[in-house]
Chain A
Amino acid sequence: MAKIIVVTSGKGGVGKTTTSASFAAGLAKRGHKTVVIDFDVGLRNLDLIMGCERRVVYDFVNVIQGEATLVQALIKDKRVDTLNILPASQTRDKDALTQEGVEGILEQLKQTHDYIVCDSPAGIETGAIMALHYADEAIVVTNPEVSSVRDSDRILGILAAKSKRALDGLEPVKEHLLVTRYDPSRVDQGQMLSIEDIQELLGISLIGVIPESQSVLQASNAGLPVILDEGSDSGQAYQDFVARFLGEERPMRFLEAERKGFLKRLFGT
C-alpha cells in the first residue's frame, strides 16, 4: 500500500523543498518507487533543485484540469530510475488546486508508487492544507529558532484537526520532527535553540538533524538533491534520516560543534 508523506513546516525558507528532493531521491535510491509532488503552485522550485526544470512540459495543474495525462506530466529522474517528479505550475494561481483534483491524482499515483512525497508550500492556507490533507505521515521541518518552532506547532495542530485521517477518525497522521539548518556553534552561543529545547516544545519524535552546510547551496545550484552528494555532511545526514524513516536505527550525528583548534583549547575559555 502506497504511503503519502507530506513535508511541511508552516514557515517558509526552512528547507522543505531541499528535504523533499533529498527524501524522495533517498527512498528511490533504495529501490522504492517514489514520486515527489510540488504543491507550491506559483512558486515552483522543486524542479530546479531536482535539476529537471528544462524538461517541464505539463504540470500538476494541467493534469487536474484535464489538459494532460499524469503520464505526460510526470518527469522521470535521470539519475535514479525509480524516481518521478510532478512539477508545479509557475503561471497558475493557487486556487487552481482542487480537493477532488488532488485526490484523483494521488489515487492514480498510489497504483504505481510505494511512496508519494508532497512538498508543501509555506503558510497555513489552502495550498499547505491541500498538501497535508491526504497524508499518512508528516515530516515537520523545523529550524532551531523560536518562530520556526511556533509555526511547526501550528502546523501540527492543523494536522491533528484538518487532515483526512483526523476528519475520518482514523489513526492520526504519524508525525516526525526533522531539524534542519542546525548550527551547533550557534546553539552553544545561545543564539539558537538546542535539539532538546525543540523536542520539548513540540513533543514529537526526532527523525533527523541536518546541519547548516555550504554543500546544500552547491548541490541546489547544480540541480542535484544533496543526498546524492554522498560525501557531504548534509548528504550523510539526509541518508541517516531516510534510513530511520525506513525503520533502521542510526545514531544522531552532526550535533556537536567542531572541536576547537589546539591553541584555542589551551588558551581559550
Chain B
Amino acid sequence: MDTVRTDKSTTKDLFENIDNDSAIEIKGSVFTLPVLKIKSTQLAQIELALKQHLSKSLSFFRNAPIVIDLESTKQLQPGLDFEQLNTLLRGQQLVPVAVQKGSLEQHLAAESAGLAILTGQLSKSVKSDISPTKSADDTALAMDESPQEQPNVSAQSGSPVTAPQDTGSVPTKIISQPIRSGQRIYARGCDLIVLAAVNAGAEIMADGNIHIYAPLRGRALAGVTGGENNRIFCHSFEAELVAIAGSYRVFEDTVPSGVFKKPVQIYLRGEQLDIVPIQ
C-alpha cells in the first residue's frame, strides 16, 4: 500500500558534534519502510490474509521491518492486542517496528508493546492508496509490495552495483555487468539501467523504471513503491516474472510466444499488466 519515509535529518544535526571516542554514535538516515495496512482487529483473519499474501508475494518481506497502519481499524471493536499482533507478525518473519494513523488509545497500547509511533512530522506518505494486488483489498489487510533493501542484499548482489548516480534531478542506477542467479539489485528511489543480461534466478527492482539493454531472463519489478506509471523495457523478453506497482505476472514455463525473445515494454493499463513488443 503505502510507503513511509521517516526523515530524521534534524536529529542528525543535533548529534553532529558527538565525541568520537564515545562508544556510540547517533546518525540520522532516511529509510523507506513497507507499510502493513490492517483492516481487521481479528488476529485470526489477519493471520490468514497474511499467509495468503506472503505465500503469493516474493521473499521481499522476510525479516523486513514494517510499519503497521491503523487507520482502518480506529473504530473497530474489539481493540487490537499489540502484544499478540507482534508475535503473529514475527511468526511470519516480519519485524514490526512502529504504528501510524491509529487512535490515541491504539497508540498508547502500541507503545506499551514496544512499538514506536510515527506521527505526521516523521512520516510522510510517498504514495497513497494503491492496490498492489487485486485480491488484497477484500482481505483483512493490504500490504505494500515495496521491499526494504534486505540485509543480505549487499552480500548476495556483490560488486556489479554502481552506486546511484546523482545527476541532479533524475538519479539513475546503472549496472554494466551481468546480474546472475541469486543476485538481487534494488534501485531505491530511482530508475535502473542494466547493460548486461539479467539471468534466470536473478531479481532486479526499482522504485522507478527499468531499462535492460540485454535479455531479461529473471525477475524485474518496477515501481515497487507504488509507481503505477513506471515501466519496464528490455531487449529480449524471457522473464520469469515481471511486476509494476505490485501487479505481477509469473511465467512458469516460458513467456507467450508472441513476445518471447522480442524487445518489449511492460506497463500497467488499469488493472492489467501489458507486455507489448516494441517495433
Contacts and interface: CB of A to CB of B under 8 A. Distances in A.
Real binding pair:
yes
B199 A160 contact: no
Contact of B199 (A153, A162, A166): A153
B201 A154 contact: yes
Contacts of B180: 153-154, 156-157, 160
Interface in A160-206: 160-162, 166, 201, 203
Contacts of A166: 158-159
Nearest to A167: B159
B196 A157 contact: no
Nearest to B155: A161
Interface in A124-169: 124, 150-151, 153-154, 156-158, 160-162, 166
Given A161-B158, A166-B158, A154 B196 contact: no
B181 A160 contact: no
B178 A203 contact: yes
Given A153-B201, A203-B196, A203-B197, A160 B160 contact: yes
B275 to A, nearest CB: 22
A166 B159 CA distance: 7
Chain A interface: which size bin? Answer: 10 to 19
Given A162-B158, A166-B159, A157 B200 contact: no
B200 A150 contact: yes
B152 to A, nearest CB: 12
Interface in B103-158: 155-158
B183 interface: yes
Nearest to A156: B180
Chain B interface: which size bin? Answer: 20 to 34
A132 B159 CA distance: 16
Given A162-B158, A166-B158, A166-B159, A157 B182 contact: yes
B55 to A, nearest CB: 23
B157 A161 contact: yes
A150 B200 CA distance: 7
A157 B183 contact: yes
Contacts of A201: 199-200, 217
A259 to B, nearest CB: 32
B177 interface: yes
A157 B197 contact: no
B181 A150 contact: yes
B157 to A, nearest CB: 7
Contacts of B181: 150-151, 153-154, 157
B173 to A, nearest CB: 17
A201 B158 CA distance: 20
A230 B200 CA distance: 39
Contact of A160 (B155, B177, B200, B217): B177
Contacts of A124: 182
Contacts of A154: 180-182, 201
Interface in A31-55: none
A154 B158 CA distance: 12
Interface string B151-181: 0000111111000000000000000011111
Nearest to B159: A166
A158 B160 CA distance: 11
A158 B217 CA distance: 19
Looking at A151, A161, A166, which has the most chain B CB atoms within 10 Å of its CB?
Answer: A161
A155 to B, nearest CB: 9
Nearest to B218: A153
Contact of B159 (A153, A160, A203): A160
Nearest to B160: A160
Contacts of A161: 155-160, 183
Interface string B178-218: 11111100000000000011011110000000000000010
Contacts of A203: 178, 196-197
B44 to A, nearest CB: 39
Interface of B: 155-160, 177-183, 196-197, 199-202, 217
19 contacts: A124-B182, A150-B200, A153-B180, A154-B180, A154-B201, A156-B180, A157-B158, A157-B179, A157-B180, A157-B182, A157-B202, A158-B158, A160-B180, A161-B155, A161-B156, A161-B159, A161-B183, A162-B158, A201-B200
